[in-house]
Chain A
Amino acid sequence: MSTDPSHPLAAWRRRQVLQRAGGGFGFLALQHLLRQSGLAAPSTNPMAPKPSHLPGKAKAVIWLFMNGGPSQVDTWDYKPELQKRDGQALPNFDPKTGFFPDAVGPLMKSPFAWAQHGQSGSWASSIFPHLAQQIDRMSFIHSMHTESNNHSPALFMMNTGVTRMGNPSAGSWVTYGLGSPSDDLPAFIVMSDPKDRGLPKGNASNWTSGFLPGIYQGTWLKPKGQPMENLLRPADLTPQHQRAQLDLMARLNHTNLANSGAEAELANRIASFELAYRMQTAAPDAFDLTKEPDSVRKLYGLDQPHCAHMAAQCLMARRLVERGTRFVQIYSGGMDNQLSWDGHSDIAGNHRGFAQETDQPFAALLADLAQRGLLDETLVICGGEFGRLPISQKADKPGRDHNPHAFTVWLAGGGITGGLHYGATDDVGHQAAVDKVSVRDFHATLLYALGLDHDRLIFPFQGLDQRLTGVEPASPIQKLFA
């Protein structure tokens, strides 16, 4: 938690505390109990905000995950040489690079038109007209590479730093390292495709807390129905009676607290019921997009059928971050080929469709965060789990197969200088060639933005000091930061 009093999250926190102080018998009774127990405040809350290692600007992260692996050479990595060599074979290409060794085609130019935008003159393909307007806020890493050519290992790599299943996700590491500014909203929230196209491959292991305590696991918002478990009180229990229940529990718990032998832990549990009681109001409030003015809803594209779902998720992400949620991850696209950015066939149709779903909401998110002064403190990440090959994958309408050797990720906000391009791929965009950035480097950069030193963010487990960046070397890309 920043100590800067002008921090919007700090201001919001102050309002919350003031409201809570008048929050009825339960909270006052709790204060009383805690004083009696000689405690100023619950001392064992694992979610309490913790200071960062370094003065990072970012307080929160919104990660827009282009699930399935978008093609760098059809989005942000302009390759004139690829246009020229369209139809030629790619020399020395290992057919096992992608997923379908039997469908290897020749080099294939991007089906989209390209243009330069903004002060920075950054190139963008024509499928992102709205983001092109925000391009000077965005900085690009063109030289990302990863270790697997298969979705779920690559998703695990991107989210947890290893291709195996079960290590903690970046969001869990961040909430473990920094705690949560909000105590009545989940610290780490994940939203998946709401159009019945499924979860990303690997499912919830993409936001698992692994060997970290389970409370650091991402809270997955159900795309349909009530987004969180147990947020609604039972139908046959009135608010008054639930309040009375809580007061009764505080009173009965109190009877046995003083001589319990575990005062702090038990007092903390009493406090957790009050938090839960407030969460019943706070969380639905954060999820309620009807409270946004029409102008904002329109900005995100909530009125546009082709992108309304992503607009809602992006707008909700902003509302959550504004209220103190530390880490939000939104997946674009679902599980199966073609139902995500996984354009094995018809790369043009596939990418055009998913760009239409995301372009306006993503651009609106950047503009809206900036307009509210939140962008400086919110790191926005956008990218997939790997890239796609510059050669075609043979099909009626050609697609592109997986490419672990090169992909582009863009970052904005959270101290990132806009309009930069870091690293580069080879002439045709097949492999990262200049200033290669490993997923470990990317994670180190993410942590760096938040003021966390990847080498010092450790958790002892199975005889090792575990890190998000593992045991191999990693370095943040400091050049991206102002």
Chain B
Amino acid sequence: MRSAFFLALSGLAAAAELPPDHAAKMTQGLELFRQNIAPLLQTHCLDCHGGSHTKGDFDLATREGLLRGGADGPAIEPFRAAQSRLLQLVRHQAKPAMPSKKPILPEALAAQLAAWIDLGAPYDAPLAAGKSPPRDRSQVSPADRQWWAFQPLATAPPPSGAPHPVDAFLLADAASSHLTFNPPASPATLARRACLQLTGLPPSPEELQSLAQDSPSAPAYPALLDRWLQSPAYGERWARHWLDVARFAESSGFEHDYDRPHAYHYRDFVIRALNEDLPFDQFTRWQIAGDEFAPENPQAMMATGFLGAGVFPTQITANEVERTRYDAMDDMLGTTSSAFLGLTVGCARCHDHKFDPIPTQDYYRLLATFTSTVRSNIDLEIDPAAAAKAKADFAAETARLSAALASTAADRPSAFAAYLRDRSASPSPGWALLDNPQLTSQGGATFQPLDDGSWRASGPNAPSDVYTFTATTTQHPLTALKLEALSDDSAPAHGPGRAPNGNFALSRILVTAAALPGGPPRTIALLPPQVTHQQNADHLSGAAALDDNPASGWAVDQGGIGQNQAASFPFAEPLDFPNGTQLTVSLEFKVNTGHNLARPRLSVSCGPPPDLRAPVLPPAVAALRHRPNPLTPSEESLLFDWWKTTQPTWQEAQQKLARHLASKPAATSPVMVCAEGFPPIVMHSQGPPFLPETHLLKRGDPNQKQQVATPGFLQVLTRGDPAQWLWTPPPGSRSSGHRRSLANWISDVDHGAGPLLARVAVNRLWQHHFGRGLVATPGDFGKMGALPSHPALLDWLASELIRGGWKLKPLHRLLMTSAAYQQNSAPDPAKTAADPDNNLFLRQIPRRLEGEAVRDSMLAVSGLLDPTLYGPGTLSEDSRRRSIYFTLKRSQLLNSMLVLDAPEPLTSQSLRPTTTVAPQALLFLNSPQVRQWSRAFADRVAAAVGPATTDPDPFASRAYLLAFGRLPQPSEREAAAAFLAPRLAADPAERAAALTDFCQALLALNEFIYVN
């Protein structure tokens, strides 16, 4: 009895305003509990809430659990049944109605419950036998800190018993099994294993030959390891592992899966960082906050692509704005914690983590780190030295081409003299500008006349406008009018129109002419124009500017934006006014809002209308062209300046210069970063790109906001004052400093999460070298993950990593020079019996290569591999570059990769499954690329063996050497001979086909895609 009271009263400590007679009530309630309530709860409630399940996070097996309530909040208020939610649910006055999906309880039972609650809801014992009260997971206890992964690194030195520390640790743990390592693999097998693991490519025959020169003073294997670690292929291989962890892709997913064309820089950063052996702690810090650590360093900026590599909706309705933003921050946080710390904090989004000491409050503190972190495309000078060289090269070439242009016509004085003598025929007539031009706008635009005879529009861009152009000319007969729509830097998208997209739409052109002096104006009939470009052949064509329909007209989108455009309107009849002509041209823009011209120019032709693209002559030149000799020297000079531009040599040189100038190297490249203070990449959203504050959310629901969360760290990985990691950005910074603070904590070996960071990192290396991590769940070091099979070894390796300045390459070398690594993979019945899962690492297990390495190996063996590093990727399966350069577009993942188990880049993936299914075999049998590579492989072998050889044996030997790094065994020679011999003697086509079939079969063999 006493204990029952103790149980009952202890729960009341926090309750306010106890009724004065609460002790008596509780005693009374206890009786009710025993007789009625306990059976009621057991029959109707316990199974889902504390028995076999704990739905809604609500466990009423104990009074503490009942008082705590569930995910929806408190269930009862002791002594106040009327305020108790549980009763409302039971009486179906609120949802979810309880018991769930069962008939409503009789009111008599509900009334008993109410009475019991009014008596304080006491228990005499837990309803489920042996059940203790659920613990409060919102607080991190000292016991939580005892979990192995949260401990400081153990400092035990390697045991004795083997010269290599890794072997010593493994053998010590295997001692009780009385088993030891397998014998060493053959040098060729080992070299193939090491090369494929380090570079994702098979060793070359030359590299294998170096094994023959192996000697104690110059051992071949360590030298090869160094060679492969220094190879750029190393970074390409190991970056791929990390990109799985970083859920890296280059499109946003969701509705439209928009491309992120500048996201590949993150992939290049990872490759470069690994090749340069960037210390792993710095690698970590830059990915979280490169912009806050080293904004001047393009690599650090590129590194932040990590945070932004996840999916994000492209179309967001008003009531989804908050949820999608919380999802996006959850993606950043979830990936960060899984990738670097091997922790699944996402579980704490809706409730305190069920297994790991991660309270919801910690989750939202971490989440708040990313409150204002968004994706942006910014311009960066990726490689300053290369950019400076490109700039200098460009300037030199500009000077060379300009000089060439200046000299082209000057060296042809005789040709000009001939032209001066007789100017009647050549060169072909051009378009002539008009005299006394005036231009006005009905909509209030103002025009600035430019030297080339064009007019730059500025000021108001009226929804619709009419430009009126008046001018005179003495030329005759006039045969056509040319309207140029010139592009201009002042216009949106460089014009040629003033609409936001750079377009214009000329609904009508109207020309009137009057004979000078003082003739009556009359309308000139125009014929359908020749145009440089038109938006369509229908209602947005050049001809559409001639009709009276204001909804149709000449427009130039769909390929014409940003370029000079022109239309030439022939006159239906020539206009021959010997004393000159007064022209009025009215240009109407009524098709679409603000679709007015940015920089028009008008010119006319006399005589047969010239080509649309023929040059426009200034009036002075036009006049000179027909003036009888002699001309003054200045007139000759003026004419020469024009004449030379009509000469093919000049035009050619001019085009060369223009092409060169158009290819001016950009000093900067756009790069997608994920940072703060830059213009965010905006989607079709009915809300802002990020929210001003991050709130603690009840059940992860943005409609149930609680207090504002301030950035912070995981309590369980915090020793000392969190202020030690806080970084305050200098005044004027564009960012908050929150991510740099987080990165400081994550990489702090002494007081923060650094030891765990190191453990997770070395475990990933071990995983890829030995097939399984020392912690078999590399993305989960929490309580749902696996325990370390060799904790002392893991901690020693983590310490080594830190001691070596967080450099990964020495660690690879350390692991790969162990006897454990170098042993063979032969099966051993004793080991299979004693250690079927190879937890002791006493043999190597053959493993299939990842899809990327399979494909890259095939390309390498075929001789077709293009080793170009870095840069934009491709979606073409025909690419010959390494597979890491495939663009990862989420809606178009490539079949060849997916079918070989490449993960969908949606969440952080630490383990790839290895499945074996028929579609993989179809890839090897029927893919056009595999067939093509097989043909190239066959050609490569045939070239080495000799084109006329009909003996299959040398062929098989060479092919085996290239594909497998070894020569065929007798039985294999026999099989190859049986397959090849009948067809090798046939005609060349049949012979080539046979060799291709054979080589394709080799690429499909188990040995080719399994690492022994």
Q: Are B917 and A215 in contact (CB under 8 A)?
A: yes
- What residues on A are CB-neighbors of B254 within 8 Å? 152-153, 165, 201-202, 205
Are the CB atoms of B975 and A234 closer together than 8 Å?
no
7 A-B contacts (beta carbon < 8 Å): A96-B317, A229-B927, A231-B922, A253-B1005, A260-B1006, A263-B827, A273-B925
Assuming A214-B903, A242-B925, is B1010 touching A473 (CB within 8 A)? no
* A96 touching B916 in the complex, CB below 8 Å, given contacts A259-B826, A273-B925, A462-B338: no
Contact with B along A181-202 (1 / 0, CB 8 A): 0011010000000000001011
For residue A249, CB closer than 8 A to chain B, the reply is yes
B712 at the interface (CB under 8 A from A): no
Closest B-chain residue to A238, C-beta based? B993
Chain B residues near A (Cβ < 8 Å): 48, 55-56, 96, 100-101, 253-257, 311, 313, 315-320, 323, 327, 334, 338, 344, 346-347, 350, 355-356, 779-780, 782, 784-785, 825-827, 843-848, 890-891, 893, 895, 898-899, 901-904, 906-907, 909, 913-928, 931, 969, 971-972, 975-976, 979, 993, 996-998, 1000-1002, 1004-1007, 1010, 1012
Chain A: CB-nearest residue to B907: A166
In the bound complex, do residue B96 and residue A473 qualify as a contact, i.e. CB atoms below 8 Å apart? yes
Contact A248 B1001 (CB under 8 A): yes
> Which B residues are CB-close (under 8 A) to A471?
350
Cβ of A91 within 8 Å of any chain B Cβ, yes or no, is no
Contact B782 A463 (CB under 8 A): yes
Q: Is the CB of B320 within 8 A of A262?
A: no
A244 at the interface (CB under 8 A from B): yes
A244 near B313 (CB under 8 angstroms)? no
Asked if residues A149 and B319 are in contact (CB atoms below 8 Å), the reply is: yes
- Least CB distance, B848 to chain A, in whole angstroms: 8
A272: chain B residues at CB < 8 Å are 916-918, 920-921
Q: Mark A201-217, 1 if CB is under 8 A from B, else 0.
A: 11111001111011101
Contact with B along A271-308 (1 / 0, CB 8 A): 01101110110000000000000000000000000000
Asked if A313 is at the interface (CB within 8 A of a chain B CB), the reply is: no
Q: In whole angstroms, what is the CA distance A459 to B953 when docked? A: 51
Q: How far is the CA of A259 from the CA of B928 in the complex (A)?
A: 33
Minimum C-beta distance from B782 to chain A (A): 6
* Given A47-B917, A248-B1001: A463 in contact with B975 (beta carbons within 8 A): no
Assess the B913–A213 pair: CB atoms within 8 A: yes
A203 to B257, Cβ gap below 8 A?
Answer: yes
Residue of B nearest to A205 (CB): B253
B29 to chain A, nearest CB (A): 29
Knowing A203-B891, A231-B922, A473-B55, the reply to whether A256 touches B1007 (Cβ < 8 A) is yes
B341 to chain A, nearest CB (A): 12
A279 lies within 8 A of B918 (CB): yes
Establish whether residues B925 and A233, one from each chain, have CB atoms under 8 Å apart when the complex forms. yes
- Judging by beta carbons under 8 Å apart, are A214 and B898 in contact? yes
Residues of A close to B826: CB separation below 8 A: 259, 261
> Which of A211, A261, A463 is within 8 Å of B907, CB to CB?
A211
Cβ contacts under 8 Å, B1001 to chain A: 245, 248-249, 252
Pick the most buried of A151, A215, A268, A463: most chain B CB atoms within 10 A of its CB: A463
CB-nearest residue of chain B relative to A199? B891
| A101, A236, A248, A464 pick with most chain B CB within 10 angstroms | A248
Smallest Cβ-Cβ distance to B983: which chain A residue: A241
B847 partner residues in chain A, CB cutoff 8 A? 262
Inside 8 A of A273's CB, which chain B residues have their CB?
A: 921, 924-925, 1004
Known A-B contacts A230-B927, A276-B922, A464-B344; A214 and B902 likewise in contact (beta carbons under 8 Å) = yes
B904 with A214: CB separation less than 8 A: yes
| A269 close to B (CB within 8 Å) | yes
Q: Assess whether B926 is in contact with A232, with CB atoms less than 8 Å apart.
A: yes
> How far is B854's CA from A170's CA once the two chains are assembled, in angstroms?
31
Which B residues touch A199, using CB under 8 A? 891
Which residues on B sit within 8 Å (CB–CB) of A217?
898, 904
The 3 closest A-B pairs by CB, nearest first: A166-B906, A276-B921, A203-B891
Chain A: interface residue total (CB-CB under 8 A): 80
Question: Known: A153-B320, A463-B344. Contact between A270 and B979, CB under 8 A?
Answer: no
A17 at the interface (CB under 8 A from B): no
Q: In the assembled complex, how far is the CB of residue A191 from the closest CB belonging to chain B, in whole angstroms?
A: 17
B628 to chain A, nearest CB (A): 66
Q: Does A99 contact B (CB under 8 A)?
A: yes
Minimal Cβ-Cβ distance residue in B for A184 = B918
| A255 to B1005 alpha-carbon distance, docked (Å) | 11
Once A203-B257, A473-B96 are accepted as A-B contacts, the answer to whether A152 and B1012 lie under 8 Å apart by CB is: no
Q: Are A253 and B1006 in touch, CB under 8 angstroms?
A: yes
Query: Which residues of chain B come closer than 8 Å to A236, judged between CB atoms?
Result: 931, 993, 996
Taking the nearest CB of chain B, how far is it from the CB of A192, in angstroms?
A: 12
B-side contacts of A149, CB under 8 Å: 317, 319-320
A215 to B918 alpha-carbon distance, docked (Å): 10
A463 to B908, CA, bound (A): 13
Which of B344, B890, B979, B1001 has the largest number of chain A CB atoms within 10 A? B1001
Query: What is the distance, in angstroms, from A292's C-beta to the closest C-beta of chain B?
Result: 25
Q: How far is the CB of A460 from chain B (nearest CB, A)?
A: 7
Asked whether, in the complex, the Cβ of B925 is within 8 Å of the Cβ of A256, the reply is: no
Chain B residues closer than 8 Å to A256, beta-carbon distance = 1006-1007
Contact status B901-A96, CB under 8 Å: no
Q: B569: shortest Cβ distance to chain A, in Å?
A: 37
A251 within 8 A of B: yes
Encode A43-83 as 1/0 by CB contact (under 8 A) with B: 01111000000000000000000000000000000000000
Q: Is the CB of B925 within 8 A of A230?
A: yes
In the bound complex, CA of A426 to CA of B304 (Å): 50
What residues of B have a CB within 8 angstroms of the CB of A277 in the complex? Answer: 921, 925
Is A150 part of the contact surface with B, judged by Cβ < 8 Å?
A: yes
A475 at the interface (CB under 8 A from B): yes
Contact of B915 among A46, A219, A233, A241 (CB under 8 A): A46
A211 and B55 CA atoms in complex are apart in Å by 24
CB of A427 within 8 Å of the partner chain: no
Which residues in A have their C-beta under 8 angstroms from that of B346? 462
| A230 adjacent to B923 (CB under 8 Å) | yes
Separation of A477 and B291 alpha carbons in the complex (Å): 53
Contact residues in A for B1007 (Cβ distance below 8 Å) = 253, 256
- A315 to B306 Cα, complex, angstroms: 46
Cα of A217 to Cα of B347 in the assembled complex, Å: 25
- Chain B contacts for A46, CB-based, 8 A: 915, 917
A238, chain B: closest CB distance, angstroms? 9
Task: Render A419-431 as a binary contact track against B, CB cut-off 8 A, 1 for contact.
Answer: 0000000000000
- With both chains docked as a complex, state the minimum distance between the C-beta of B785 and any C-beta of chain A, in angstroms: 7
Interface check A148, CB cutoff 8 A: yes
A209 / chain B contacts, CB cutoff of 8 Å: 904
Tell whether A113 is near chain B: CB-to-CB under 8 Å. Answer: no
Which B residues lie within 8 Å of A255 (CB)? 969, 971-972, 975
Interface 1/0s, chain A 449-482, versus B by CB < 8 A? 0000000000010111000000101010000000
Among residues of B, the one whose C-beta sits closest to the C-beta of A156 is B254
A103 at the interface (CB under 8 A from B): no
A272 vs B317: C-alpha distance in the bound complex, in angstroms?
Answer: 47
Given A202-B255, A208-B904, A217-B898, A462-B922 contact (CB < 8 Å): no
List B contacts of A462 (CB < 8 A): 334, 338, 344, 346-347, 779-780, 907
Task: Flag if B997 contacts A229 (CB, 8 Å).
Answer: no
Cβ-defined partner of B904 (8 Å) among A99, A166, A275, A473: A166
Closest to B989 in A: A236
Given the complex of chains A and B, what is the CA–CA distance between A349 and B1001 in angstroms?
56
Contact B1000 A245 (CB under 8 A): yes
**Chain A residues closer than 8 Å to B903, beta-carbon distance:** 214
Contact between A266 and B1006 (Cβ–Cβ < 8 Å)?
yes
Chain A residue contacts of B975, Cβ below 8 A: 248, 251-252, 255
Q: Which residue of B lies closest to A473 (CB)?
A: B55
- Other contacts beyond A148-B320, A152-B254: 10, CB < 8 A: A47-B917, A202-B253, A202-B255, A205-B253, A210-B904, A213-B901, A217-B904, A252-B972, A256-B1006, A272-B917
Query: What is the CA–CA distance of A273 and B1000 in the complex, to the nearest angstrom?
Result: 13
In the complex, A237 has a CB within 8 A of chain B: yes
